[in-house]
Amino acid sequence: MGISDTNLSAKKVGSLEKIYEGGKNLKYLYDFNPGKKIIITGSSTIDISVKAIKFLTGRVFILNLFQFNFEEFLSYRDKDLYNLLKKFKDELKIEKEKILLPEMSSSVLDIFYKLYEEFGLYGGYPRVVTTESKTEKIEVLKNIYNIFFLREVKEILNLADDYKLVKLLKVLAIQAGSLISYDDIGSISGFNYIQLKRNINLLEKTFIIKQIQPYFTNKSVEIVKNPKIYFIDCGLRNVILQNFNKINSRTDQGATNENIVFSELHKEDLQINFWRTKSQAEVDFIIEKTGKIIPIEIKSNLKKFVAGKPMYSFMNKYNVKFGLILSDKLIGKKTSKDKNIIFIPSWFSFLELI
């Protein structure tokens, strides 16, 4: 072990001792101050943090506080539009097999989409949302990236240099929504397989990225191992890519739209998977909620009420009656035999109604 490794190990041991001691002190404060509430905040769920919390077993609630979702963003940016969105959601009804959709003019759809695009480009960090200037939004995101992610995460990962971490985050941002190839990512970032798996796991525990696993029942025809990775905040992904161009003009338009929707679903604390066959038929997201399976496809620049073969294949295979296609502005439904597919703008998620 070199000198730098020894210093890092000593630093980590010292940090662990402080965390253990902090956990014991919190237990003492709680037990000898009945009726008092103690709020503990942190930026990750890493094991060393859990070691402190273990002293509070039976005394603690663990809550995840995410960035703003689109409705929260809208409630700050434009109260009138926020109330209008709530009204539209009240108009949407799903009663047995009958589905009633709200009516919106093209001008209203354009207004909502413009704000949804802003939200998708800059993300939901509160300081970013409350900043009016787009230039300042980018500066805030750069500071979040440079100060927290490249310094604190570097320390957590015990990296002597951060250039490998920068490369790793860049390749993950580029490949968001694609099947992960550990060989390719390792080759680009410079991490070996074991280091890569560990570092991706730690990036997930620091709420930077999230892995989603394939949905399957038949190993012979469905993908069962390779995960996909998305960023929890889209603004962070864009600052890593240094790309804040309008979504419809981007070469990664599809991946960007997928990541925005993923971020919204993730903040609802839903179980999210994807479905892909070995013949490459794919459904972007599979949600399981209240005993139901809901396939979701994200489409860019969709002009007609058309659902692809993969959606129908999944619905037939798993006897699913209801599917969801999210696009820019289309609102409508398509019924084929006992299958109902709803077309709705991406910003109009109504999973809570199902």
- Tell me what pLDDT residue 33 has: 76
Query: What backbone phi and psi angles, to 5 degrees, belong to 303?
Result: -110, -20
- Element of type H or E holding 134: helix 134-143
Is pLDDT at 213 greater than 50 in this prediction? yes
- Domains in the chain, number: 2
In this structure, the answer to whether residues 11 and 109 fall within a common structural domain is no
137 and 44 in a common domain: no
Claim to verify: residue 154 and residue 8 sit in the same structural domain: no
Could you tell me if 204 and 296 lie in one domain? yes
Check if the beta carbon of residue 231 is closer than 8 Å to that of residue 173.
Answer: yes
In angstroms, the CA 146 to CA 84 distance is 38
138 is in which domain, residue-wise? Answer: 70-353
**65 falls within a domain:** no
Task: Determine, yes or no, domain membership for 181.
Answer: yes
Within a 10 A sphere around the Cβ of 143, how many other Cβ atoms? 12
Cα separation of 140 and 138, whole Å?
Answer: 5
Q: Is residue 111 part of a domain?
A: yes
Cα(317)–Cα(276) distance, integer angstroms: 12
pLDDT at 187 > cutoff 60: yes
Establish if 64 belongs to a structural domain. no
Residues 51 and 125 in one domain: no
Q: Tell which residue, 352, 330, 277, has the closest CA to residue 104.
A: 330
- Same domain flag for 130 and 259: yes
Establish if 198 belongs to a structural domain.
yes
Count of residues in the chain: 354
Residue 267: inside a domain, yes or no? yes
Kindly state whether residues 28 and 100 are assigned to the same domain: no
d(CA 134, CA 128): 9
Q: 219 and 141 in one domain?
A: yes
pLDDT digits (tens, 9 = 90+) for 217-267: 988 888 888 899 999 999 999 999 999 999 999 999 999 999 999 999 999
pLDDT value for 95: 65
Model confidence pLDDT, tens digit, residues 70-96 = 999 999 999 999 999 988 888 887 665
Q: What is the pLDDT of residues 137-179, one digit of tens each?
A: 999 999 999 887 777 777 776 776 678 888 999 999 999 999 9
* Statement to judge: residues 324 and 260 lie in one domain: yes
Of residues 64 and 279, which shows the higher confidence score? 279
